[in-house]
Amino acid sequence: MARRLQSRLKQSSTHAVSLANSGRKKPRCPHFYGQMRATLVLSSGASKTLPPSNIMATLLQDLRFAFRQLLKNPGFTAVAVLTLALGIGANTAIFSVCEAVLLKPLPYSDPNRIFMLWERQPSGDTLNPVAPANFIDWREQSRSFEEMAAINPNPNFVLTGQQGEPARLTGAGVSPNLFSLLGTRITFGRDFLEEEDRPGRDRVAILSHGTWLHHLGGQPDIVGKNITLNDISYTVVGVLPPEFEFVSKASDFEGRNQFDVWVPLALNNREKLQRNTHFLRVFGRLKPGVTLTQAQEELDVMAAIPGVEQ
């Protein structure tokens, strides 16, 4: 039996060599050129996979080898690591923006009915903030929107009178119905009142959750207390919930999309007549059953009225 197996191995080996050397001689087949190598494998049974312990050992051996190679080439290693870091960071940033803008719904009640309104000059397609007089006309004359609210994202405040150094806060002046339009509930306290949207009666403030927690120590009885903003005393009437975002992390009001303190808009009589000063961001909630096309057609009609811009 052993002699037969040895004889077969010799014949198989000879056949393999003859194939490898067949390129040196003229092959019997007229269509065969070049060299060919064959490997003969004899097995007495079914093939077996490596046990998990051997696989892990091989993996660890490969990792050690790769690590040694990286240590031998520090320059290449630094470039490779930096390239990977930049690539991962760029992909993470792009995904965060896409997730916030395209995938994640706005954190408001029935967000499909909330729209942002802009002015557009007849001479171009550029979208601009809204003049106070135009906002008042839209709010009073529109029948497509359930309600409208405006925000002035420009105020800045300096908080003083607390423990530690004075803190600079990003502020916003808003219509008293803004949070109800968005469907946001105040965590502590109440929303603004209509009578507080007047000059002289607007010394009230609603705090973001972060401002209340980090700058005012998370005082549970903060509602009703006074804080000093720009050397003026304001009464805290409410605190927003921690998950509140305006409008979203990917939105940008000139880089001012997260506000620390909110106060009433409180336009004076002169500001209410202004049509050449554009600084308001206007939000509207459509009435149930009204489409965006219908609302746009209504605004187009209003824009044709002298003194009112779209």
Same domain for 97 and 115, yes or no, is no
Q: Taking each helix axis from N to C terminus, what angle separates 74-98 and 52-72, rounded to the nearest 10 degrees?
A: 110
pLDDT for the residue numbered 90: 87
pLDDT for the residue numbered 100: 58
Specify if 309 maps to a domain. no
Specify if 136 maps to a domain. yes
Within 60-207, strands assigned E span 114-117, 119-120, 127-128, 145-152, 156-160, 167-174, 188-189, 204-207
Residue 266 region, left (φ>0) first, then alpha (ψ -120 to 50), else beta?
left
Residue 163 region, left (φ>0) first, then alpha (ψ -120 to 50), else beta?
beta
Which residues, given as ranges, of the chain have pLDDT below 50?
2, 5, 9-27, 29-46, 248-250, 253-254
Specify if 32 maps to a domain. yes
Containing structural domain, residue 98: 72-103
Specify if 66 maps to a domain. no
pLDDT for the residue numbered 198: 95
Query: What is the token pair recorded at 13?
Result: 């080996």
Same domain for 137 and 279, yes or no, is yes
Same domain for 190 and 280, yes or no, is yes
Cis before 17 (ω within 30) = no
Do the beta carbons of residue 119 and residue 279 sit within 8 Å? Answer: no
Do the beta carbons of residue 172 and residue 253 sit within 8 Å? Answer: no
Same domain for 142 and 91, yes or no, is no
Give the pTM. 0.65
Same domain for 209 and 273, yes or no, is yes
How many DSSP H helices and E strands does the chain contain? Answer: 7, 12
- Give residue for tokens 């067949």: 22
Specify if 52 maps to a domain. no
Same domain for 154 and 266, yes or no, is yes
3-class secondary structure, 253: coil
Same domain for 163 and 236, yes or no, is yes
Same domain for 28 and 94, yes or no, is no
The structural domain count of the chain equals 3
pLDDT for the residue numbered 220: 92
Same domain for 178 and 251, yes or no, is yes
Same domain for 142 and 234, yes or no, is yes
- Which residues touch 53 (CB under 8 Å, ≥6 apart)? none
Rounded to 5 degrees, what are φ and ψ at 200?
A: 95, -20
CA within 13 Å, CB half, 207: 30
